[in-house]
Amino acid sequence: MTSPMTVKRVLVAQLFGLVLLVAANQAGAKGCVKGAVVGAVAGHVAGHHAVVGAAVGCAAGHHLAKKKQEEQRQQQPAPGQQT
Residue 81 lies in a domain: no
- Domain boundaries, position 66: 19-72
List, in sequence order, every beta strand (DSSP E) within 1-83.
none
pLDDT in tens, 4-16: 778 788 777 777 7
Residue 43 lies in a domain: yes
pLDDT for 7 equals 78
The DSSP secondary structure of 5-28, one letter per residue, reads HHHHHHHHHHHHHHHHHHHHHSTT
In the chain, the number of structural domains is 1
Residue 77 lies in a domain: no
Calpha distance 21→14 (Å, rounded)? 10
pTM greater than 0.75 (yes/no): no
Residue 3 lies in a domain: no
Question: Would you call 52 exposed, middle or buried from its count of C-beta atoms within 10 A (0-12, 13-18, 19+)?
Answer: middle
Residue 65 lies in a domain: yes
Residue 49 lies in a domain: yes
Residue 10 lies in a domain: no
